[in-house]
Copies of this chain bind each other. A is one copy, B any other.
């Protein structure tokens, strides 16, 4: 795909994400999408495809970006605790800059076709596996106790839920929030310093 097509594609995804944020997947008509991206129905289909395909592309491109922002931090010799802190910061930075996209991807996932749902679930599992491996490596290294799927869900629930409340103009930066969350996860409420 040529450079211009790539740019158009990205612009379409960004614009439609905003529409889906405001009106929901079912509340957004194809007519409205065409108008917002300034393309005819045929050109829209040429660039991406159906409305469902656009939702799929939005979800996959978000997961891909989160994956790409995370992987470099685990391909290091850092100890697991440092890796955990770095991937947490990367995820919340990504949430902070793509909050609308995450809200759409999380909310509207059930409207994807079965095949697309399978692919999105697969990509999400792959992303969760990165977290699971870091948590497991820390346990293996004796840095903390053994972990399983419930821990990974607890951790990712905490982080993913920030899409609902974190604002880019909030009092704490995404990195500060990530650090607070990681501290809480590592040491618990009982390990919190009294002077924080």
Contacts and interface: CB of A to CB of B under 8 A. Distances in A.
Contact of A145 (B135, B145, B156, B189): B189
Interface residue SS majority, chain A: helix
Given A145-B192, A164-B106, A154 B135 contact: no
Interface in A17-53: 23-27
A184 B153 contact: no
Interface in A139-177: 139, 143-147, 150-151, 153-162, 164-165, 172, 177
Interface residues of A, number: 47
A41 to B, nearest CB: 21
A161 B165 contact: no
The copy count of this chain in the complex is 2
A65 interface: no
30 contacts: A23-B26, A24-B24, A24-B25, A24-B111, A25-B27, A26-B26, A106-B164, A143-B189, A143-B190, A144-B192, A145-B190, A145-B192, A145-B196, A151-B180, A154-B181, A156-B161, A157-B159, A158-B158, A161-B161, A184-B185, A184-B188, A185-B188, A185-B189, A186-B188, A186-B190, A187-B190, A187-B191, A188-B188, A188-B191, A190-B191
Interface of A: 23-27, 106-108, 111, 135, 138-139, 143-147, 150-151, 153-162, 164-165, 172, 177, 180-181, 184-194, 196
